[in-house]
Amino acid sequence: MPLARIDLRKGKSVEYRQRVGEAIYQAMRAVGVPENDRFQIFQEHDAGTLVYDPGYLGIARSDDFICIQITWNEGRTLEQKKALYLGIADGLHAAVGIRREDVFINLVEVKRENWSFGNGVAQYVS
């Protein structure tokens, strides 16, 4: 049910993107996302088309800045969300060396009826 949109600077290898995707997926699995529920969209940006403040809230960001937006079902606890944020930042640091300061995460929570996984059917609606 989660859909992860991952925006990063152009020029990273396929292997790099795969490792990023796997780290994000494993962090989501750790907070209860079902196995094989993996939908990710990568968007690469030229310089100047991924705009971020390099010092907002006292966090020093570099050009390795990565923006991750996850749309998923509402209902997770604050503790699960915090664990997800930390799991993604730590996982990306371990997988590809991204500085934790460069990991920006935004969660979008939706109702279960807002998904169709194919066939024009709302699979989560009884």
Known catalytic residues are 2
- Alpha helix positions (H), the chain: 14-30, 78-96
Rounded Cα distance between 84 and 20, Å, is 14
42: β partners: 6
- What are the Cα distances from residue 116, in Å, to 47, 101, 124? 35, 34, 8
CA–CA dist 105, 29 (Å, integer): 16
Q: What is the DSSP letter of 102?
A: G
Spatial separation of the C-alpha atoms in residues 73 and 25, rounded to whole Å: 16
* Structure tokens given for 85: 């944020």
